[in-house]
């Protein structure tokens, strides 16, 4: 089962629990952790010479600066946000 399928299923569980008056806390925790596993593109903060990247989850700057000539400063494009663990998707 993919993360997307699991996420849909937990959302249905959550709705069904809510309609039955049952606590939804556990499925809400599951939904949040599955959402972090689904890669999202970084938020870009660009000017003509360089692009800075922010995490789509916590909105903090990730220490990668991309210059117009393709050079990277500040390390590599990490698969996960070092702050909140959000999975990141980078353009090729
Ligand atoms: Zn983050």
Distance of CA 70 to the CA centre of its chain: 24
Ligand 1 center–CA 66 separation, angstroms: 18
Q: Is the pLDDT of residue 92 over 80?
A: no
Partnered with residue 9 across adjacent β-strands are: none
Q: Is the pTM value of this prediction over 0.85?
A: no
**Pairwise CA distance, residues 29 & 82, whole Å:** 20
pLDDT in tens, 50-87: 988 999 999 999 888 888 888 888 878 889 998 999 99
Ligand 1 center–CA 16 separation, angstroms: 30
Ligand 1 center–CA 26 separation, angstroms: 22
């Amino acid at each position: 089962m993919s993360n997307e399928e699991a996420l849909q299923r937990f959302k249905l569980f959550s709705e069904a629990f809510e309609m039955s008056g049952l606590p939804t806390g556990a499925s809400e925790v599951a939904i949040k952790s599955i959402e972090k596993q689904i890669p999202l593109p970084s938020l870009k903060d660009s000017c003509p010479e360089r692009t800075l990247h922010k995490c789509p989850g916590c909105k903090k700057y990730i220490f990668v600066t991309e210059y117009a000539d393709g050079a990277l400063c500040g390390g590599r494009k990490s698969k996960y946000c070092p702050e909140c663990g959000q999975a990141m998707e980078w353009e090729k």
